[in-house]
Chains A and B, each alone.
Chain A
């Protein structure tokens, strides 16, 4: 207790600053820590019983720590496991700092009281109040002030503090890790710290997975080493199994005496059950169950009992676990190889002469399995022995093994602090001791409640530290002599701690076996008193807490701090080494897996294939995510952010690791089968809340805009289309002219002879709506070709081809496509010509000025590519001007010509119709009846339109064209009988004459009989057919009756007969003289023909009258006129 004021004295100097800096600066943390050591000594109970977690403060401390320890923080990315203990520690650390400024001067002796307080909460409450007061002052101080004055005030105070401040960072770290009040935990925390270092190294290595590609060349070595290790393990195992029988079970029967439950070796999990145990211990008398019962109960309840756990061997579980870890770690190291097995005498015949006490890792493992180690010291001794042996035997300074041994020793030194300083003892012994303590100690005044918790610590076997630790540390205080001369010296527990830390750091090189031994020794002495809270008070106060904590923490930090700079020296190698170290085992496993398949230099078909695993894929995805996150956080992010990121990721991976997957420490490229290819987001399998798959692709779908495959609506296209339309119109007229001409020439028509020519306007059909899933042009060669073909077809039509051969169209399309390809290719060449440097900067697409300009401007490129493909603008312009525009006018002119020609064809009479056109009616003027030209001239000839009939009947009034032409009349008369009969004045058709046959020829009058008989004879006695019933071609042309009623011309022969006759006549002309009789007949026929020759022309004029009668009727009867409209009637344009 007396120490306390002094420590505060010392701090008084620094107080204004340290207060101001308190929570946030490393300096403050240091001094706080220093004080906490003191204050903790003052009131250990307080520290011990504070179970309350104070996370905000922990966070603050962590912040402090992180801010100052950039390097370490980066490496310590994974200190995610902060439990209540740390919080407590922080809390405790805070407390004195709060106390100090406020009260320590005034009540130096008051602190013990505080320490004796049973209810910590009160104490905290006070402290909190005070602290808050302080904080009001301090927190307002600018942050900047904190870092700047850090060292200065300290320097002003005294040398040690300066030094201390330089070490503050370390202490800061330790501070979190080592709750000074809780000794046992401090060791634990040191271990944790080292563990974290390791994890951090792993994390760093893992991060490098994403940035560095390591070759696989060392894999084979790794594999071989690993195989050797496995071999060693097996060997040890077999040897062990042989010995196991001989090994006496270390466990002894539990003493019946009631002890505290917490003394039970509950292993690591006791931490989780701590409060329960504490409670049970506190209410021990109320619990009826015996210790053994409770112990076994709790042992069953708790999880994760390791193989080392043994009820009756106190501390064994933890000790052995850590020892095993250390040895595994060392074993896996890259330099461990020579030390794995006992030195073979054959290899080194004189070895056993030099080395009397051989040792190797294998042997150590054996010993470990045999539970031969009782304490940390024994274990460490053995380890050091290995390296010492090696160094001893290989005394040549440049011996390669020496290097390895030295390296291994260094490693060992780093790792040893991981091992808690526990001496394994039999439970019986422990309990006996406990009992002794209980009996011996009476002053349990203030520590009563702390006793409740104390046993837990004891149970973990780490309570043991004693004066020895202090002694050793104090003894080795020598190097920092200056420290001792400072006034702080009087603060015994504190100074040694600090000094020790300093010394540890400063004399890293000195720290060797001796130190380890010292500390180990210190710990190794198990003062029974530790078990009781009262007893250890003095001991604790004596610096046991502090020293032990400091030793371990100093070691830890010493290792972590000094270790890294050391490695920094060979940084180039460091990363790779770390990587090798971290990944060695997994690489070896993977290499071995692979190797299995190719054993004996050939493919092993029976070996299991390397398959993609679910876990592997998940891991891959996770790593990827992690890498992306880290990449995103970037280098510019502040330290805190880095820390957060690291923490987040590590915790995440940890969580997932817990979820049951073994985390492999290898880059993803070691596991290529498990990589997941980049899946488009839209292809992800996403389910909604109901478990239905969400069709994501729908969001990406879009309808292809129409018009992609049709000609653009340009002026040129419009002109061409209008030309095409014009051509169609003209062709319509053309077709009509053709029909008219044909009808004038042809004697006979068929019902469907003239198809109505009615071309449809060209419409460019677009493609059906198409849904596409991405942007960019549609690659559809066939559709594109079809579109081009259509355009080519249009151009064909435009060039005057009404029809064209498909092969021609295909050929031209292909040539055009080829040409366009070449055009585009040359355009691409011109566009992609390397840029050239210009004198003036030109802003590029993004607006940034650049001196590099394209060799050709867009226009130049187009012109060049056109030129090189034989197209010049002049030609193009000429085409547009001559072949499109002028063609339009020409076509228009042609259309007009056609129309007038057509009109002329239809009304030849009009030519000589006189000025007023009245003359047109002189010759019957049947042409007027055909409303075609009436329509042409826009006259409502029949007045139908006036009457509104055209609309009423929905038809155009036009008389069938064939009715207008007299020549046609002949052909159409029979075909159009319906028209005639329905429209003309109708009578009953008289009964048909009986056909004349051979049988009934006698019924005819005598005058005719002979004529009939000859006819019949000609007809080979078949019945005669009436003229009207003859097939149309054989029918005789009917004599037409002119208005005069006289038949002026002789009867015509039927067509065929005429032709035959003509032929005959020609023949007969040649042999006229031979056959007189025939000559006579044929000449008669010839006369007939001659007679017929002209009447055709004459009849042309005659016939219309007859026709007129038929057609004139509509004028009287509109209905009949409608009836006359035949479907085959052709509308005039």
Chain B
């Protein structure tokens, strides 16, 4: 264990926070019941990552000359992950929509509640699932475009209003990413029974931030790392990113485990496991193979190592020098080789 479990952390102190984590892992593909060690490890990794993000954001904000961190800083951190960026933008757009609808629906109408439900979904991280719900109400409301700071409009001094009929190319990209996610989810739920699906959809609702914003803030180190009072957006984005981290980590750990299992199977596995397996053929009453053991902390560690592995780009400028590359802590994100999208 390279990370001591911080028992002050809000999630850990409350049982259901760990449950959130387990739910997220389940959504990410872990079917078994992970041990507390595993979840604690994952949690500490995630916490570390979130705090790292906050630190970076603060640095960026300071460099910008701003005291408080903004969404742009967060965008900047994940700028290389285009899919994530586009999903975030999508999320923020819809959030904006919800807010405006809420404002306009102060007088009446239940559109707000509808959107709120969508928002919850979004905040849980499964962004693609959200927008479908609000449906027409959101569509009608004029969506504020969430622009990236480095996008084209930043080139020019004037920011002309959006033209109505402008087809946003990025929308398609966002949709593509969303569809990809939905497709994956669909694959997973295809063979689920009704109960299983209910469980699954319950798990999808899991969120670090939804109605736990305050605890999350504490956990992430707001107030310690950065003084500023974070906006709602930032908390939501962080929640989303946290979910992403958990998911990526879990997926990678599962991949590690899979590879390990394969290796064990091909070589006969470890000494004792080998003997056991050799001893008896698979019997009729043996437990089904699907009931596999959950991800172990070792798998998570290996996954984390893999995700921290430096790439060539980071050390390109050190070629032909004798300097040793010291990689900074990396944000856990999809490894390029597994990425369906860059």
Contacts and interface: CB of A to CB of B under 8 A. Distances in A.
B152 A901 contact: no
5 contacts: A800-B154, A819-B316, A897-B161, A898-B158, A898-B160
Interface string A728-746: 0011001101100100000
Contact of B158 (A737, A870, A889): A737
B157 A734 contact: yes
B156 A894 contact: yes
B155 A870 contact: no
Contacts of A756: none
A1064 interface: no
Interface in B124-163: 150-158, 160-163
Most chain A Cβ neighbours within 10 Å, of B151, B156, B315: B156
A819 B317 contact: yes
A737 B159 CA distance: 10
Interface in B286-342: 311-317, 319-320, 336, 342
B169 interface: yes
A893 B150 contact: no
Given A800-B150, A822-B320, A901 B156 contact: no
A893 B320 CA distance: 45
B166 interface: yes
B316 A870 contact: yes
Please name the 3 residue pairs, one residue from A and one from B, whose CB atoms are nearest each other, closest first: A870-B313, A901-B160, A870-B316
Interface in A709-744: 727, 730-731, 734-735, 737-738, 741
Contacts of A772: none
Nearest to A737: B158
B163 A896 contact: yes
Interface string B155-180: 11110111100100100000000000
Which of B151, B152, B169, B320 is packed against the most chain A CB atoms within 10 Å? B152
A815 B317 CA distance: 9
Contacts of B316: 819, 822, 868-871
Interface in A869-900: 869-871, 874, 878, 886-887, 889-891, 893-894, 896-898, 900
A901 B161 contact: yes
A723 to B, nearest CB: 10
Contact of B152 (A741, A819, A894): A894
A719 B151 CA distance: 18
A867 B312 CA distance: 7
A826 B151 CA distance: 34
B342 A868 contact: no
B317 A894 contact: no
A818 interface: yes
B208 to A, nearest CB: 32
Contacts of B155: 727, 730-731, 800, 802, 891, 894
Given A826-B319, A868-B312, A869-B316, A887 B152 contact: yes
A822 B161 CA distance: 46
A354 interface: no
Given A818-B317, A870-B314, A731 B156 contact: yes
Contacts of A825: 319-320
A887 B156 CA distance: 14
Nearest to A735: B157
A869 B321 CA distance: 13
Contacts of B320: 822, 825-826
Contacts of B313: 870-871
Nearest to B310: A870
A822 B316 CA distance: 8
B314 A900 contact: no
Given A822-B320, A889-B169, A900-B163, 4 more contacts: A800-B150, A822-B316, A890-B169, A898-B156
Nearest to B150: A800
A1006 B319 CA distance: 97
B312 A891 contact: no
Interface residues of B, number: 26
Nearest to B314: A870
B160 A900 contact: yes
Contacts of A738: 157-158
Interface string B69-100: 00000000000000000000000000000000
Contacts of B162: 897
Interface string A793-814: 0000000101000000000000
A47 B3 CA distance: 123
A868 B319 contact: yes
A874 B342 contact: yes
Contact of A800 (B152, B161, B336): B152
Contacts of B319: 822, 825-826, 868-869
A418 to B, nearest CB: 74
A819 B316 CA distance: 8
Contact of A891 (B152, B158, B169): B152
Contacts of A731: 155-157
Contacts of A867: 312
A897 B160 CA distance: 6
B166 A893 contact: yes
Contacts of A878: 342
A891 B314 CA distance: 31
Nearest to A868: B312
A930 B327 CA distance: 61
Which residue, of B158, B162, B315, B317, has the highest number of chain A Cβ atoms within 10 A?
Answer: B158
B52 to A, nearest CB: 22
A1009 to B, nearest CB: 57
Contacts of A874: 336, 342
Interface string A1010-1054: 000000000000000000000000000000000000000000000
A818 B319 CA distance: 10
Contacts of B161: 897, 901
A897 B163 contact: yes
Contact of A886 (B169, B314, B317, B336): B169
Contacts of B311: 870
A870 B317 CA distance: 9
Contacts of A800: 150, 152, 154-155
Nearest to B160: A901
A762 to B, nearest CB: 16
A893 B168 CA distance: 10
Contacts of B336: 874
A822 B158 contact: no
A632 to B, nearest CB: 47
Contact of A890 (B152, B312, B315): B152
A870 B80 CA distance: 14
Residue among A731, A802, A891, A894 with the highest chain B CB neighbour number at 10 A: A894
B312 A869 contact: yes
A897 B317 contact: no
Nearest to B313: A870
Contacts of B317: 815, 818-819, 822
B91 to A, nearest CB: 21
A885 to B, nearest CB: 11
Contacts of A730: 155-156
A737 B156 CA distance: 11
B153 A894 contact: yes
Contacts of A826: 319-320
A890 B169 CA distance: 9
Nearest to A797: B155
Given A818-B317, A886-B169, A901 B158 contact: yes
Contacts of B153: 894
Nearest to A878: B342
Contacts of A893: 166
Interface in A836-893: 867-871, 874, 878, 886-887, 889-891, 893
Contacts of B157: 731, 734-735, 738
Contacts of B314: 870
A889 B166 CA distance: 11
A886 B152 CA distance: 10
A901 B153 CA distance: 13
Contacts of A737: 158, 160
B161 to A, nearest CB: 7
